[in-house]
Chain A
Amino acid sequence: MATSAAPGEAIRREWRRFTPAQRLARFSVYLVLAASIVWSARTVQVIPEFLYDAPEQMQDLLHRMWPIDFAHYRGGVHDALVDTLHIASLGTILAVIMAVPVGVLAARNVVPFAPVNYLAKLILVSSRSVNSLVWALLFVAVFGPGALAGTLAIAFRSIGFVGKLLGEALEEANRGTIEALEATGAPWLSVMAKGYWPQVQPAFWSIVLFRWDINVRESAVLGLVGAGGIGMALDTALNLFQWTRVAMVLFSIFTVVVVAEIVVTQIRKRII
């Protein structure tokens, strides 16, 4: 710009961090966001009268929850809580079993055949796009209410997550070891077991642990649609307006979630 200009011109040139196109793009994102937030705020159907006494209602709710009914734990919560943990763990195991082949097929360097990659990615995306509660509704309709529906819901929702991350980890694997193994004439299974597996192992365990942690949280709500676990205890207590029991259930969910997170972080520290 300043090549043919007088020497003084170059000094006056203004320095800007972004090009005009970039600034325009950023500005339009801000504009669209602001406009859509204003549009939502003005058109969303909210009854303001309900909002005025919301703090009172909240206080009332907490007041009614207060003496947490710890005695309820043995009778109505413990078994459901253990069931929830089993649903989360079995669901994760089942998901891993189903996700590993799909993840391998999705990795372009392992299976160098584009149509297969796309098919695998389609499976992974559809698994992730359906919320675990919707999976639970579907499986409750198929297998009837109970933990089986919950476990399958957790498993099907997790396939997409585990498969996607595993596929990405495989694609990042170093070629060197793989080529060395292939040069010895190793069969495909040996290349997978001794070439790829050691490289993706840390990523694999951390994906599985991370998903298990998420699944513990998610399996706690599946019972609301009849798919077993602690959510069913919560649903019963809510429907009967037994707020002290609701508080007990919420307290136990909170404890389990916090403990699960601590366990996962501790294990991750050890193995990675």
Chain B
Amino acid sequence: MSTQGARAAFPASWWARAGWVLLAAYVVYAGSRLDFTWDRFLVGLDNGARFIDRMFPPVIVQPDSLANGLVESLQIALLASFLGIVISLPVGLLAARNLMPVWATWPARIVIALCRSFHPVIVAILFVKAVGFGAMAGILALMVASVGFIGKLFAEAIEEISLKQVEAVRATGAPFMNVITYGVLPQVFTRFIGFATYQLDSNLRNSTMVGIVGAGGIGGTLFSAFQRFDYDFVAAILLSIIAMIMVGEVLAGWVRGIFLEKGKVDGD
């Protein structure tokens, strides 16, 4: 472009411009395919104003149902995280390529991929069909999600460990379980705390949602309030969910602080 005369300091990139044009074309095409029109948007804005008007001030119409829902969501999150972590540890270990033979890593990796690929709410639908409405379906659904998430990260963490310590423990003639307990686990413990607290946090968020499909927790209360157009109660439920999630986030950060004081050195 600028072979003659003064070279421009920041030459224009035609590739980047073509990219922007393509992007704009895509937005127009996809928008028209999904039937977005300006009229609909304006009508929506009108509705939105009325909707917000009806949401405020928030009113707790059924205090019992709100409290029970929140407590049940908390229970679902705790149990699902606990069971999910207990199951994901062996699965993650089996999936670690540096410690396990190929015939063990492949099935474990397939299990992890299956658990990860579906949104917890879809898994919850299937469990509602299998074990009926209620908290059990929610626990099982979030357990599956936890196995997928923690199993994957745990396997990756194990694959990054230093094999010198493993070898040293092995050289003493330690049996397999001792190699795991003294050679592998201490190296991944800090990272494990990191993703366990993250998963607990994320399970708490999702446990407020699985109720939409009947799998227990506050989601059911929220959904039925929506269907009854009790928008002031909806606002109250939403505010209490947000409060609960924020408290959970603060607690998770606090636990992480306790365990990771020295963990900074280990990376992460």
A58 → chain B, closest Cβ, in Å?
Answer: 5
Neighbouring B residues of A253 by C-beta, 8 Å: 117-118, 122
Stretch at the interface among B68-76, B101-109, B158-166: B68-76
> Taking the nearest CB of chain B, how far is it from the CB of A226, in angstroms?
11
Contact stretch, chosen from B22-30, B90-98, B169-177: B22-30
Chain A contacts of B51 at CB under 8 A? 138, 141-142
Flag if A129 contacts B242 (CB, 8 Å).
Answer: yes
CB distance from B171 to the nearest CB of A (A): 24
Within residues 82 to 106 of chain A, which ones have a CB less than 8 A from any CB in chain B? 82-83, 86-87, 89-90, 93
Report the separation of the CA atoms of residues A93 and B33 in the bound assembly, to the nearest whole angstrom: 16
B104 to chain A, nearest CB (A): 22
* Set of chain A residues within 8 Å of B30, measured between Cβ atoms: 86, 89-90
A/B pair count, beta carbons within 8 Å: 148
Interface string of A3-37 (1 = CB under 8 A from B): 00000000000000000001001100100000011
Residues in A neighbouring B208, C-beta threshold 8 A: 131
Binary interface profile of A, 107-135, with partner B (CB < 8 Å = 1, else 0)?
00000000000000000011001110110
User: Is A268's beta carbon under 8 Å from chain B?
Assistant: no
A148 contacts which of B44, B48, B245 (Cβ < 8 Å)? B44
Q: Contacts A37-B79, A86-B30, A225-B212 known; A50 to B118 CB distance under 8 Å?
A: no
Asked whether A133 lies within 8 Å of B122 as measured between CB atoms, the reply is no
Do the beta carbons of A45 and B134 come within 8 Å of each other? Answer: yes
Tell me, rounded to whole Å, the shortest Cβ–Cβ distance linking B197 to chain A.
10
Q: Are A137 and B131 in contact (CB under 8 A)?
A: no
The residues of A that contact B122 with a CB separation of less than 8 Å are 220-221, 234, 250, 253
The CA of A54 and the CA of B137, in the complex, are separated in Å by 10
Contact with A along B185-206 (1 / 0, CB 8 A): 0000000000000000000011
Contact B44 A220 (CB under 8 A): no
Cβ of B66 within 8 Å of any chain A Cβ, yes or no, is no
- B255 contacts the other chain (CB 8 A): yes
Q: How many residues of B contact A (CB 8 A)?
A: 61
- Docked-complex contact B134 and A46, CB < 8 angstroms: yes
B130 adjacent to chain A (CB < 8 Å): yes
Q: Is B144 an interface residue (CB 8 A)?
A: no
Asked whether any CB of chain B lies closer than 8 Å to the CB of A143, the reply is yes
On whether the beta carbons of A37 and B136 are closer than 8 Å, the reply is no
Q: Is the interface of B mostly helix, strand, loop or mixed?
A: helix
**Inter-chain contact B134/A133, CB cutoff 8 Å:** no
Answer whether residue A258 sits at the interface, using C-beta atoms and an 8 A cutoff. yes
Inter-chain CA distance A215–B120, complex, in Å, is: 14
- Complex alpha-carbon distance, A62 and B242, angstroms: 37
Q: Which single residue of chain A is at the shortest CB-CB distance from B76?
A: A44
Q: Is A257 in contact with B117, judged by CB distance below 8 angstroms?
A: yes
Chain A interface residue count, CB cutoff 8 Å, equals 58
Q: Do A258 and B113 touch across chains, with their CB atoms under 8 A apart?
A: yes
| B135 lies within 8 A of A45 (CB) | yes
Establish whether residues B242 and A141, one from each chain, have CB atoms under 8 Å apart when the complex forms. no
B255 to A, closest residue via Cβ: A29
Is the pair A50, B258 in contact by a Cβ cutoff of 8 Å? no
Contact across chains for A47 and B27 when beta carbons are under 8 A apart: no
Please determine whether A228 and B34 come into contact, CB atoms closer than 8 angstroms. Answer: yes
CA distance A58 to B128 in the complex (A): 10
Assess whether A44 is in contact with B79, with CB atoms less than 8 Å apart. yes
Once the chains are docked, how many angstroms separate the CA of A54 from the CA of B132?
9
B43, B132, B139: the one within 8 Å of A47 (CB): B132
Determine the residue in chain A with the shortest Cβ distance to B34: A147
Q: Does B157 contact A (CB under 8 A)?
A: no
- Shortest CB-to-CB span from B40 to chain A, Å, is 6
A-B contact pairs, 7 of them (CB 8 A): A41-B79, A51-B136, A130-B242, A144-B44, A147-B36, A148-B35, A217-B119
- 5 new A-B pairs (CB below 8 Å) besides A90-B31, A148-B44? A26-B258, A29-B255, A44-B76, A45-B134, A146-B35
Using CB atoms and an 8 Å cutoff, list the residues of chain B in contact with chain A.
Answer: 10, 23, 26-27, 30-31, 33-36, 40-41, 43-44, 47-48, 51, 72, 74-76, 78-79, 82, 113-114, 117-119, 121-122, 125-126, 129-132, 134-136, 139, 205-206, 208-209, 212-213, 216, 222-223, 226, 231, 238, 241-242, 245-246, 255, 258-259, 261
4 closest A-B pairs (Cβ-Cβ)?
A143-B44, A40-B75, A147-B34, A86-B30
